[in-house]
Structure 1
């Protein structure tokens, strides 16, 4: 047991050292010679201080991203190997004779351990965003969001865990397929529910105050044949200086949403370009394509997880103090596998997302016919978020669901030739 934990700890440290070396010492993020002095070169739209802060903050943020991802995997591994998961299961089974209560007690305990163990890393990330002027959120507000995250994630995870253990007990060979069948209606329901139930827990949403701007946005939506009656703004300036806008929800709960930071920092042509970009996603049905892709990918993911889960329990179940596939103590193993498979698939999902974002940019330029506004919008997005214009390769493939700022500006410039 000690050797396994020590080995996992050493592997985690080496992983962290690799990404520190890669991001701070060798990761290539300089501007290509051919683009120096062009509108895609950050030196043309950022001052010297912004350039330095952008480089520093991007490296820190990216390192924390990569370091944070396997942290929960390592924690789950320790819980399994040290026998702590079994002890938690034994405690949960003593709380009640009802299986539902036992599972709820175990999941709550596991969630609490993960939340408390992850809190220092989350706090460090929050502090860096404050130090570099990205976040404007008070500590009380940040803590409130952490609590909301916990109480949204806990019941959703509990429901999924209850279904998993019921299915694997009743349908051991095909549990993964039946679980996937259930994810379809649940995912659609959450998409429908999010704009009106979940999002308002974090921020205040209200109809766009600038009615003249709303009129221009709705006129643009009419040109794109998009049924829309209202545009919403959200008070994100209480939490961040970054800029954003999005279309969320499906069916009757579909919403066009603008962050108030976007309204405060961009002029009307730039805002209309962002709105046209979001309309492009709607017109090209990216939400539904993305949803369909997610469901197909989750089907393949559940199949792979099923094979690995059963193999590990068959080969190493005793070492991990797991008696059977339906043993509650095996939950950390399942969550670990879900995390690893999701991370492994992220280069593919990010590549698809970048393709869709590029298509939406092209649509927005065609709709607004304002390439100057497109370029200035991308430049302002980069400045507001202190984003690297040309991030290192591994950062791009594992983290970026959008093309880089440099690529987006290049696409606009090349399209004008």
Structure 2
């Protein structure tokens, strides 16, 4: 490596470290790490057995035990396929082979090569995904026929492949145009891409999987719109998603920004929850809006993506690593499988940190729901009904929950609501 190359690699590493430090600062400052004072008599005990009756508790634990191995196998398979394609010449051959019928130019290699690598990885894990769908059918959580399941797999894979291919095409274009400083430009572009994607997702991606109809005028619609006004985050509409085409699970969320912001209810939620519980779950989602959790997540994602790209710039300066991947330089389209491997590893390593922050953010949204509705009883009812219908394990293994748990357990959330009520009662 030349002197200029070494300087560029060091600069890329410094940029990665700087952006990574910014992520740490945001994580340390923004999420709430203490939400409630200690109630008189101490915290309410977390009692998984109080969430579900014994028969449902056993069923939820059985469901989780059946799915966890599939989740782990899927992750391992994905990493193995990525490693085989990214760290051997096989990936480079695949990239060049799929582009050959279309002239073999670098654009065709990047676009078709990226799609091919993603499709190969998806096909490798498809049997495991099918097994997981069988489990969901067996426990009554999935209502999809196999035709719709295959359609969902195909659409999600196509969207992922298309977006990733365009992003990598832009990345390699920058490498070709600015071989010494591409990582700096790419970090900025990637961060911007995350921000734009966060705004476009509700209006572009969501309609590819579900149909949405306005909730008819009535007491519940008025109540939810009033909650949004009281929260200081008015919404444009309350929509109902046809989630029952795919699942029996219950959910609601607030989607969009500004003029596109709307409350979305699963039709299953409307069918199975009383209005007080629906209001509680929507109040929770409005808590995310008032605390700007999506914007904070977008900021963290943008900084993290920029840091990852800069780190990739440092790693791709290693000639032995490029040779192992069958690539001549960072501008060679044969580097695509290696870049996808680095993305996979980075995403997996960041998962426990993301989920640690997510659990705190979800608890703050729970607090906002309790404050907005003033009804801990409805909140507890909602949590129990969600756990029963979604077969959520109220007591997962500690290591599993630390790594993969994006929300507090239902038992933890109920205990939190009980603490809040005790503090309210004490004035």
TM bucket by the smaller chain? 0.7 to 0.9
Which one of 96, 107, 111 corresponds to residue 100 of structure 1?
A: 107
Shift of 1:209: 2.8
Partner-residue secondary structure (3-state), 1:310: coil
Shift of 1:97: 5.2
* Greater CA drift, 80-89 or 61-70: 80-89
Alpha-carbon distance in structure 1 between the residues aligned to 2:86 and 2:206 = 35
Partner-residue secondary structure (3-state), 1:257: strand
Structure 2 spans left out of the alignment, 5+ residues? 1-43, 423-427
Kept in 2, the 8 Å contact 1:39–1:375? The answer is no
Asked if residue 391 in structure 1 is aligned to residue 391 in structure 2, the reply is no
Shift of 1:167: 1.6
Alpha-carbon distance in structure 1 between the residues aligned to 2:177 and 2:403 = 37
Alpha-carbon distance in structure 2 between the residues aligned to 1:371 and 1:47 = 20
Kept in 2, the 8 Å contact 1:39–1:409? The answer is no
* Alignment RMSD (CA, Å): 2.0
Which one of 109, 132, 149 corresponds to residue 156 of structure 2?
A: 149
Kept in 2, the 8 Å contact 1:245–1:258? The answer is yes
Shift of 1:92: 4.1
Which one of 351, 363, 368 corresponds to residue 368 of structure 2?
A: 363
Kept in 1, the 8 Å contact 2:325–2:338? The answer is no
Which one of 322, 326, 331 corresponds to residue 331 of structure 2?
A: 326
Partner-residue secondary structure (3-state), 2:331: coil
Change (3 A) 1:328 1:46: same
Asked if residue 179 in structure 1 is aligned to residue 186 in structure 2, the reply is yes
Alpha-carbon distance in structure 2 between the residues aligned to 1:404 and 1:271 = 19
Q: Match for residue 84 of structure 1?
A: 90
* Greater CA drift, 192-201 or 38-47: 38-47
Q: Match for residue 271 of structure 1?
A: 278
Asked if residue 382 in structure 1 is aligned to residue 387 in structure 2, the reply is yes
> What is the 5 A alignment of 1:26-41?
41=47
1:103-126 CA-partner distances (Å, limit 9, x unpaired)? 223223223322222211111111
Asked if residue 414 in structure 1 is aligned to residue 410 in structure 2, the reply is no
Q: Match for residue 305 of structure 1?
A: 312
Q: Match for residue 24 of structure 1?
A: none
Alpha-carbon distance in structure 1 between the residues aligned to 2:194 and 2:96 = 33
Q: Match for residue 400 of structure 1?
A: 405
Q: Match for residue 282 of structure 1?
A: 289
Aligned length: 378
Asked if residue 131 in structure 1 is aligned to residue 138 in structure 2, the reply is yes
1:248-301 CA-partner distances (Å, limit 9, x unpaired)? 122322221111111111101111111111111111111111111111222222
Alpha-carbon distance in structure 1 between the residues aligned to 2:50 and 2:96 = 62
Alpha-carbon distance in structure 2 between the residues aligned to 1:316 and 1:152 = 29
> What is the 5 A alignment of 1:201-350?
201-209=208-216, 211-311=218-318, 314-350=319-355
Shift of 1:359: 0.7
Kept in 2, the 8 Å contact 1:236–1:261? The answer is yes
Which one of 59, 67, 70 corresponds to residue 64 of structure 1?
A: 70
Alpha-carbon distance in structure 2 between the residues aligned to 1:90 and 1:98 = 9
Change (3 A) 1:196 1:86: closer
Alpha-carbon distance in structure 2 between the residues aligned to 1:207 and 1:134 = 25
Structure 1 spans left out of the alignment, 5+ residues? 1-37
Q: Match for residue 6 of structure 1?
A: none
Alpha-carbon distance in structure 2 between the residues aligned to 1:352 and 1:338 = 20
Alpha-carbon distance in structure 2 between the residues aligned to 1:237 and 1:355 = 30
